Each structure stands twice: as C-alpha cells, then as structure tokens.
Amino acid sequence: MDFVVDRRKAFAYIAAHAPDARKRTIVFVHGAGLDHSTFGLQSRYFGYHGRNVLALDLPGHGRSEGPPIPTIAGMADWVLGVLDAHEIAAAAIVGHSMGALAALEAANRRPERIERIACIGVGYPMKVSEAFLEAARRNEQTAFDMETIWGHAAQVPLGGNPNPGMWMYGDMLARLARLAPGVLYNDLKACNEYASDFANVKCPVLLILGRRDAMTPPRAASLLQKLPNAKTEFVDLSGHSLMAEAPDATLDALIPFLAEPR
C-alpha cells in the first residue's frame, strides 16, 4: 500500500490485509540496496497469521520515493514516522542487516514504541571495506558483485535454492540493477558510519545469524549479544541472505519470538 511519510510517497507490502487496529503489527525493514520483497515468504506468513504487516521500502528503494536517507538515525526516524502515519503506538520490527541497525536505533530513540526486534544477519559496528565503499561510490559493477557474492554463503552459486527454480545470485544482481545510482553507496556509508551505545534498547532482541555469513560474520554480533535482553539463534548453512538461503529456519526462529506477549 502507498502512504505518505515526510511528504513523500512511501510503500509497504501488507500481504493483502489492510492494517487493523485490533491486531499487533510487525514492521519489516530491508537491508542495503534491497526492498520489501526480500522478506517475501516471512512477511506473507505473518500477514496471513493474524498480524498487521508493513514490509517497507525505505526511501529511494523499491516503490518508495527518494532520495535515500543518508544515516541510520534518519532511517530510524523515518520508520517511527511510518508508525505515526498508521497511528500505530508500538510495533515489533524485523530488520535485516542495515534494517536491523535502523530497528535498534528506533528502539534507542523511542523505546516505548518498539516492542521487540528480530535482527537478521547483523553486526555492530557494521564496518564496510574501503574498496567496497569506493566501488559503490563510483556505482561500479564490482560493488554489485561484492554485495552479491559476500551477501550469500559460499556454496550458494553451486547449491540448490530452497525456492524451486530460482538462482539467488541472479535475483540479487537484478534487484541491484534496478537501483538508482548512488543508493547502494548511501546505504553502505550509513552502515559504516553508524555508532550507538544502544543505552535505551531494553526490549527483547533476537539475533538470527548465519554461520557462513561473510558480510556480517557471527563474531561481528558479539557486542549486540551483550544487549540486556538479547538472545541468538544460529543458522548453520546460511550466509547473509538468510530469508532466501534459509527461509524456513528464519521463519521458524521468528514465529515463537514474535508470538511472545508484549
């Protein structure tokens, strides 16, 4: 559905169910250079299982009007603006990679509005190599290749896709090819520069980490594992793109966590 945040058109996938004030809400926030459809299976599940689902396209991504937001803090404010736009007092957030940082920052800024956070494929600090940043700044194909190859476990190009007939590398490259120039750089730079003490993040946090993640290896989440109410689930064979590489394991981790009472 289309709506307006900060006077610009924004989009959220709602799994064919209009938001209902009687239901609890889950907001999905995608990673760098991606869009709502990275959560296709998982957001659809919760939309058909009694939850309001808002799988967002951040500004400048997917169907949401640009420009992209240059900082994680700005993205967090925008997500909070989405809650305002839908008159949602508080919601759970499922964030992937950059989206997980935005979710944590939203909870840091307005802890009363974030019930719980599932962080998929996350690390902190989320440092990006100079070579990757520079290639993205120049909008070179190399940057898209790095995002694609490091964004999946090493066996992905040779292994079977759980989603029959689909090739994950091709899908990632096709998504990135649709991006306006500069959007990937914007996102990577935002991740690279983000710093926080997470002092106000007291809500339950679930870290879902792929043991074969080359983009944000599990060890990169050690600081987040020390958050006061955090727990971690590892997915053995997955890399950074857990929703695509291990859709069932990711969903099976999300279901009990998001079913817990407020």
Partner 1 sequence: MSGPKYPGFDTLALHAGQSPDPATGSRAVPIYQTTSYVFRDTEHAASLFNMERAGHVYSRISNPTVAVLEERIAALEGGVGAIATASGQAALHLAVATLMDAGEHIVASGSLYGGSHNLLGYTLKRFGVETTFVSPRDPENFKRALKPNTRLIFGETLGNPGLDVLDIPAVAAIAHEAKLPLLVDATFTTPYLMNHFGLGADLLYHSATKFLGGHGVAIGGVLVDSGRFDWEASGKFATLTAPYEGFHGMDFEEESGTRAFLLRARREGLRDFGACMAPMTAFHILQGVETLHLRMPRHVENTRAVVAFLEKQPQVERVIYPELSSHPDYELCKRLLPKGAGAVFSFEIKGGRPAGRKFIESLRVFSHLANVGDAKSLVIHPATTTHYRMSDADLAKSGITAGTVRLSVGLEASADLIEDLERALKVAAKPAAAQP
Residues at the site binding partner 1, with contacts judged by CB under 8 A: 13, 16, 35, 37, 40-42, 44-45, 48, 62-63, 131, 134-135, 142, 145-146, 149-150, 155, 157-167, 169-171, 173-175, 177-178, 247-248, 251
Closer of 165 and 261 to partner 1 (Cβ): 165
Nearest residue (CB) to partner 1, 21 versus 167: 167
Tell me how far, at minimum, the Cβ of 47 lies from partner 1, in Å: 9
Q: Quickly count: other Cβ atoms within 10 Å of residue 150's Cβ.
A: 16
212, 218, 220, 225: CA torsion to nearest 10: 160
Compute the least distance from the CB of residue 19 to partner 1, in Å: 16
User: Across-strand partners of 248?
Assistant: none
Closer to partner 1 by CB, 150 or 234: give it: 150
Q: How far is CA 243 from CA 43, 152, 203, 237, in A?
A: 10, 11, 23, 12
Residue 142 or residue 192: which is nearer to partner 1 going by CB? 142
Least gap, CB of 175 to partner 1 (angstroms)? 6
Rounded to a whole number of angstroms, the minimum distance from the CB of residue 138 to partner 1 is 10
Least distance to partner 1, CB of residue 136, Å: 11
The letter for the amino acid at 133 is L
Cβ neighbours of residue 219 closer than 8 Å, sequence gap 6 or more: none
